[in-house]
A and B are shown apart, each in its own frame.
Chain A
Amino acid sequence: MHMLSKIPKWNLGLILVLILEIIIFGLINPRFWNISILLNSFNDFIGIAIIGFFVTFVMITGGIDISGGSIIGLTSVVIGILSQVAGMNIWVAIILAILAAGLCGLLNGILIAYGRVQAMVVTLGGLLLYSGIAIVLIGISGVSAYEGISGFPESFSMIAYSTVLGIPSSILLFATLFIIAYVLLHLTKYGRYIFLTGINQDAADYAGINTKKVIASTYVLSGLSAGIAGTMLTSYLGSARAEFGSEYLMSILTVVVLGGTLITGGKGGIIGTALASIIVGFLQVGMQMGGISTQYIGLATGLLLIISVALLSISSSAKDNMKKLLGLKI
């Protein structure tokens, strides 16, 4: 009962916040209540949500991945160069680019799990390196860094703009990856291993779990998800640029932390991350529609990040105190 009551309560709070948000923004601008506008707005934050799902994995193992944003830029540039400069088939280019993103994640994972270097340091190096490689690729290929690579075939932009039975593809992608992440983390043995590794790596090791493999794999997943996000963003914006995703770092971490995942590891969930990403995404859409200038959005996300973490830590320490008090009485 205790185990069950803890996380869902946070999720319940998130649902409440989401409903409140929709009501408030709708009162400010009734256009916000238009379902098709809301559904289409998923395109604006799908990248944050997708990466957030798998950074949740990383954070539950006790690590952190701040390189996701720069992997988006790298994927975008690789797709652009392979298809537009090297003349490759667009779909092959996409697969290769997502594989490259997975390789970036693999490098992070190997250095962190097997090299035993701090995750923060490795992914910081990765952040510089991967966006650096993207800039170098742009520089070598002689494309103007300012304009980026454009002129993608029509079929490529259909990735972001097509609909199936009236549902935008971004929602389908969101749902698919949500289900994959949820099943992986909450319904499989692999997911249990991730939690165990985060709670106590030594104990997990002694229990016969190959914790290094588990840790490294979470970074690969996180890299792959950044690759998918990069593909989606490139298709949505119709051009490939090195600096895509460079401002995603804050939002990704906000989404994961607001979703109730502990930055110290061992606790968290995909539902929370999904709810939080919709909250943050709608917040940005709503503020734009409410006529609030875009520069204030950072203020709102920043405050949301700090307040949610403060609430999480206060509520957990309050609970601890309550337990102590109750324990004394009994």
Chain B
Amino acid sequence: MKEVNHMSIYKNLAKKREFRTLIFLAVIFIIVGFINTDFLTIGSIQNTLKSSLLFIVLVVGLTIVLLTGNIDISVGGTLGLSAAVCGLILKNGGSIFVSILAAIFIGAAIGLINGLGVTKLKISSFIMTLGMLEITRVIHVIYTNGQWVENLPAGFKQLSQMNVLGINVLLIIVLAGITAIHLFLTRSRKGRYFSAIGDNIDGAILLGVPVQRYVIYSFIASGVCAALAGLIFASQIGFISTNAGLGIEMTVIAAAVLGGVSLSGGVGTVIGATIGAVIMISINSALIYMKIPAFWNDAISGLLLIMIVVTDAVLSRRADKHIKKERLKARVLKEEVSVNHAHAK
């Protein structure tokens, strides 16, 4: 009896998309580890995780938007703008606390505008956030006069370098945050509203979910996450160029898709998306450890993305067909049984 239980747990796990992604990540690590054992040292793994922190934070926010069936392309612009604002405040002698608050406020404001555009003006989220991406980029350049923000105070740069028991503090905070968000999105009633909206918007309306409000919340969450990522960027890199975060949105969307988040909404978890982000960055550092020139990066991530998504689509369709067949069989067999009963009588 117990074994059966174990079996079903394994089966359930194997069916989960995140689990497959995790295995894929493990395979990358093992293969690269064989070629260059340095890749598997704790230091190197922590470095990979540290450099993926930024992407993890971005992808968590994006996932909440994707769950509602919308998309947020503006994250790269929000990241750059909020990092620049935070950097300039710091340079002009503002306190770290104020600069962080300002960045988060900007992220929330951009998210709010996106959300209002999508819900009230009924602009498709792709177009709305694409326009917003361009607008935030221009505002960033105007605000900084087209110059890089450099020489951030050491105290601020220190924030991303603090360690507790040899583990990066920021990493711990982010992982704890992801766990909390995951529990909120899957266990709490209000958290599940997000995927309910993406799964079936009319159904969600009928159930009394305040759809528009929650879509706006999701965009605000994504904006705030992008601002936090901007802070991490500023603290880790130490300077903000005018094209900070340029093109990052495509990597982040790819990461979410790799992690099993559906672009049509309702399906996916932040944990899966996080694993997806780690994969995207691992590919980069794996190439370095395998001594493959960096110009292969985009080609390999693009190819992987297409392959994984197509395999996944084919697999899930086959599974659907199988389930339908089983159901049909069950129905037909039942009828036969009842027919036999009738004969017996």
Contacts and interface: CB of A to CB of B under 8 A. Distances in A.
Interface of A: 64, 111, 115-118, 120-122, 124-133, 135-136, 138-139, 145, 246, 249-250, 253, 257, 263-264, 295-296, 298-299, 301-303, 305-306, 309-310, 313-314, 317
A299 B138 contact: yes
B302 A127 contact: yes
A40 B170 CA distance: 54
B138 A124 contact: no
Contacts of B71: 120
Interface stretch (B25-33, B53-61, B128-136, B147-155): B128-136
Interface string B51-81: 0000000000000000000010000000000
Nearest to B294: A139
Contacts, number: 134
Contacts of A115: 310, 313-314
A234 to B, nearest CB: 20
A186 to B, nearest CB: 24
B306 A295 contact: no
Nearest to A257: B127
B124 A129 contact: no
B298 A129 contact: yes
Contacts of B254: 124-125, 128
A126 B132 CA distance: 23
Given A138-B295, A263-B124, A310-B123, A302 B135 contact: yes
B134 A301 contact: yes
B280 to A, nearest CB: 10
A136 B295 contact: yes
A100 to B, nearest CB: 14
Contacts of B137: 298
Most buried by B among A121, A126, A145, A257: A121
Given A115-B310, A250-B134, A309-B128, A125 B305 contact: yes
A68 to B, nearest CB: 14
A128 B298 contact: yes
A309 B117 CA distance: 10
Contacts of A249: 130
A126 B305 CA distance: 9
Contact of B127 (A116, A128, A133, A306): A306
Contact of A295 (B117, B142, B297): B142
B297 A117 contact: no
Contacts of A257: 127
B127 A305 contact: yes
Most buried by A among B134, B257, B298, B299: B134
B299 A136 contact: yes
A80 to B, nearest CB: 16
